[in-house]
Amino acid sequence: MVKIYTKKGDDGTTSLWYGGRVPKHHGRTDAYGTLDEACSQLGVARALCGPEQAELAADILRLQNDIFVAGAELATAPEAAGRLEDGVSRATEEMVAELEALIDRYMARVELPPKFVIPGGNQLSAQLDVARTTIRRAERRISELNEAGEIASETVIHFVNRASDAVYALARFADVDDPALFEGRGKG
């Protein structure tokens, strides 16, 4: 049996990737922990997708993977940033551009009301909105880390900002009341 507990965190600290320890309440831990929370919320959204929403489910899964990349970067002290790999453990501008394309693809297929959107059009869109707001909370924490000089690259901020916008676009797309409408939508 593999034991998943190490007891090293019993003192209120946690390990960073590539060395170092920080308090569990440190802004870095809060930032990547909040992204982990959002990734789990996106998992619930993906589980809510029906067969007619396969495209949406695939895009959510891709976003979850990319959020783990950003989380890995945030779990690494800036002095160890040289050990990170683009697209594997460090967010890239290409990842940001891919999110922009995803946002554009979905927003071209929805019509926004001329007012604020109240979450809760259906269970799937509401779950996506929960994930979106969690990503925004992570973004606020990452911004604080950046101001304190504790992140290696601002690209992770760009990525997380676009990620929340992407989840907004996915939620609006999922707001459709008639699931049959998903079948007629092209891949734009």
Residue spans of the domains in the chain: they are 21-110+119-175
Residue owning tokens 């990170």: 84
* Residue-wise pLDDT tens digits, 151-177: 988 999 999 999 999 999 999 999 975
Tell me how long the chain is.
188
* Residue-wise pLDDT tens digits, 29-71: 999 999 999 999 999 999 999 999 999 999 999 999 999 999 9
Distances, alpha carbon 107 to alpha carbons 100, 169, 188, in Å: 10, 6, 10
Per-residue pLDDT at 159 = 98
Nearest to residue 96, comparing CAs of 153, 24, 36, 172?
Answer: 153
Kindly state the tokens that stand for 149.
């000089």
Specify the DSSP element, H or E, that contains 141: helix 123-147
> Which SS3 state, helix, strand or coil, does residue 151 take?
coil
Per-residue pLDDT at 177 = 53
What homologous superfamily is domain 21-110+119-175 in, according to CATH? Cobalamin adenosyltransferase-like (1.20.1200.10)
* Residue-wise pLDDT tens digits, 135-144: 999 999 999 9
Per-residue pLDDT at 185 = 40
Query: How far apart (Å, rounded) are the C-alpha atoms in residues 92 and 142?
Result: 16
* Residue-wise pLDDT tens digits, 72-131: 999 998 889 899 999 999 999 999 999 999 999 999 999 887 778 888 899 999 999 999
Q: Which residue has the higher pLDDT, 112 or 150?
A: 150
In the DSSP assignment, the letter for residue 17 is B
